[in-house]
Amino acid sequence: MTMRYTAEEFSKHLDDTFTIQHDGRTVELLLAEVKLGRSTPEAEQFSLFFQGPLTPQLQQRMYFMTNERTGALDLFIVPVTQNEKGIVYEVVFNQMRQHG
């Protein structure tokens, strides 16, 4: 199954764990929030926010992620803040809508 990268589709996976293999370690990120942006009928803008551990802190770049329900995803993540649980990462989407 190929997942469609839409806010609606990702919202079905809130609180799911996404796994990254990084430097020989397994890093688990929890999809904590899907936040809608300034979308139009032609374009969709939204962000995903993942909660990760304090260490290791992942750098800003593309990562290959896996999830039981979505399968494999390649997403560009950016560390945006630190909270009491660890590091929060953001993935931003700004894309044309597919009609039909």
Which residues, in sequence order, are bridge partners of residue 67? 71
Amino acid identity at 35: K
Over residues 39-77, the pLDDT tens digits come to 787 888 999 999 999 999 999 999 999 999 888 999 999
What CA dihedral angle connects 52, 68, 91 and 73, to 10 degrees? 130
C-alpha span between 4 and 22 (Å, rounded): 25
Return the domain boundaries, the chain: 7-96
Q: How confident is the model at residue 94, as a pLDDT? A: 86
Over residues 83-98, the pLDDT tens digits come to 999 999 999 998 777 7
Which CATH number among 2.40.30, 2.60.40, 3.30.1340, 1.10.3470 corresponds to the domain 7-96? 2.40.30
Over residues 2-46, the pLDDT tens digits come to 567 888 899 999 999 999 998 889 999 999 999 998 878 788 899
Residue 100 has pLDDT above 60, yes or no: no
C-alpha span between 29 and 87 (Å, rounded): 9
